[in-house]
Structure 1
Amino acid sequence: MKKFLLKAIILTGLFSNVYGQDLNQAPGNYGLTSVIDGAVPGPGFYLMEYASYFSGKVQDFDGNNVKPNGTDELEINTFLLLNQGIWLTNQKMLGGNLLFDLLIPIVNLDTNDPYDLVGKSGLGDIVVGTGIQWFDTKLFGLSFPNRLEFDFILPIGSYDDEGGTKPINASSKYFSFEPYWASTLFFNKDFSMSLRNHLTFNGKYKEISNTEVQVGINYRLNYSFEHIVGTSVNLQLKVD
């Protein structure tokens, strides 16, 4: 009989600053799912919900707050509700279990007055993926479940830049392919450490007339340290 697990995880992050870059940062997982990332209970279907809040002032390379109109600082506020469904099958492959993954983000975007730079909130770019989960692996004699997954970020979310006047949208409007490897090392029943290594290949952004912009390839690492302090409470120290 297939298992069904409904798991609600509320992760709220409040950040004070956003630093400018040459190009827009590629979409992706920047730590939202870091808790015990490599471990899954067993074959079955899992539904998870993640919530994240962001509020910050946009800064230039020198750390100065950006003032597009020369007077008022630009602040961006976002709320993300990420819906994830994982089907971990009984089908064996390379010593592990074949899995399928689906992520559907819902995004609300806002900028401070007097700016009106948001094109569309709503559906974000959907992620579909497949991979292999290993349960019985060991590292230094310790339990070391891990997963290799290949994700496709589909640029089908809400977007309308209104001729370039509203550059902040729920969708990136370019395709990305992202293989990653996630793992969790259990030191004992209460302490663990999780890692996720991403390598993201990004397509071209073509929404500007006669212009093609490409973020290119980027690598990033999410990691966290976890300690169970009770039967229903998990403390996490995370750096991404």
Structure 2
Amino acid sequence: MKTDIKKPISDRQRQEPESPAAGSVQGLKQPTKPDQQKDRGWKSRKPLLTILLCLAAGLKLYAQDPVLPPTNLGLANVFDGIAGKPGFVYQGYAQYFHTRDVYDGGGHALHSDLKINSLLQMNQLIYLSPVRVLGGNLGFTVLVPIVQINSSSAAGQAPNANPGVLGDVVQGTAVQWSDKKLFGRPFSHRVEFDVNLPVGNYDSHYVINPSSHLWAYGVYHAFTMMLDDKFSISSRNQFNYNSHYVGQKGKPGAYYNGNYSIDYSVFKSLKVEAAAYYLTQFNQDSYGGDHHYYSDHYGIGDTKERVFGYGPGLAYFAPNGVLIETKVFFETAAKNRLAGSRPTLRIAIPLSK
């Protein structure tokens, strides 16, 4: 099982395959070589990936192999495909992550006392222009995450966290189609291309950093469909590609993340919702282009991550156009990562009259 937590290994250090460093987090086992795993009867059990993402846009924890960069896990659900009229909109998000347990590559809880709890404040500025492209409106967005991280372990020393709070900035370019029809029902949707800029706080002396320390690229399609006067459904489906870590050869695999919701209007201004998100990694992490590197050198047969979150929510539409959405997600079906709960708040404020 992969459980040793340490700072990223430089390319110079990796010229010869090395065994995991000593000093694992208490309650988690270090990885062993493949023949040692066989001797210990671990042949059928997938390893633990203890480097993990704890926030949709902030937390990074490094070990032997790469880990997926921050992404949108339940930040936006209700009316996600609707953008309103051209102009500026500010969206603010707050999301708290509380660790329940650590899960290995087989989806088994390790009952570890490791806790990495984090608070994210995401600031997003959106500009929807009057410029028409492919029948829709051209738009641009910038997201700036601020994250506070704390780690603890009752049985031993916890991994150290960078006290810096700036995560990586994301820039997006989109085309928004509003007030369309699908199967005779009102339908609005958007396609967006995002670039993750590795400009956040990063220091190799820390195990946990706000920055992903890599360039990442994503494209998503978001939509909202009005089923009738009371019900609507919304979804965002995003596909992501990661570069190598800056100055290193490690590279996380490509992955998908999606947000989903169905809501019901209790009153004209108040909706109740059932919301969910899902993340799954498509291919193994690689080193120098070798997708078998971590299996061959560390006995880590599966580095792919997965998690599913679900929960209830409320959305309030104020008379001045402000949207307030609050939800709480409970995670399950996790593999190679922490899982827990994510209380989430979203506020959308139109800045143009």
TM-score category of the 2 structures, normalised to the smaller one:
0.7 to 0.9
Q: Does 1:104 align with 2:137?
A: no
Cα separation, 2, equivalents of 1:34 and 1:26: 21
Q: Counterparts of 1:1-240 in structure 2 under 5 Å?
A: 20-21=48-49, 23-56=66-99, 57-61=101-105, 62-66=108-112, 73-113=113-153, 114-162=157-205, 166-206=206-246, 211-240=248-277
Report if the CA contact (8 A) 1:197-1:222 is conserved: yes
Cα separation, 1, equivalents of 2:201 and 2:225: 38
Residue by residue, what CA displacement relative to the aligned partner does 1:102-149 show, whole Å, maximum 9, x if unpaired?
111100000015424212341111110111000132111001100000
Larger mean Cα displacement after TM superposition, 141-150 or 118-127? 118-127
Normalising by structure 2, we get a TM-score of: 0.56
Report if the CA contact (8 A) 1:203-1:216 is conserved: no
Cα separation, 1, equivalents of 2:140 and 2:204: 33
TM-align CA RMSD: 1.8
Task: Say if 1:63 and 1:130 are closer, same or farther in 2 by CA, change over 3 A.
Answer: same
Normalising by structure 1, we get a TM-score of: 0.81
State the AA in 2 paired with 1:173: H
Q: Greater helix percent: which structure?
A: 2
**Per-residue deviation at 1:20?**
4.8
Larger mean Cα displacement after TM superposition, 114-123 or 35-44? 114-123
Tell me, what secondary structure is at the counterpart of 2:179? coil
**Per-residue deviation at 1:168?**
1.2
Residue by residue, what CA displacement relative to the aligned partner does 1:45-97 show, whole Å, maximum 9, x if unpaired?
0001111000103333332134xxxxxx2111000011111100111110000
Report if the CA contact (8 A) 1:120-1:160 is conserved: no
Tell me, what secondary structure is at the counterpart of 1:229? strand
**Per-residue deviation at 1:214?**
0.8
Structure with greater contact order relative to length (CA < 8 Å, sep ≥ 6): 2
Listed as ranges, the gaps of 5+ residues in structure 1 are: 1-18, 67-72
**Per-residue deviation at 1:226?**
1.6
State the AA in 2 paired with 1:156: V
Cα separation, 2, equivalents of 1:173 and 1:35: 31
The percent of aligned pairs where both chains have the same amino acid is 38
State the AA in 2 paired with 1:212: K
Larger mean Cα displacement after TM superposition, 102-111 or 188-197? 188-197
Residue by residue, what CA displacement relative to the aligned partner does 1:179-233 show, whole Å, maximum 9, x if unpaired?
11100111123311011111101011246xxx52111211222211122223443
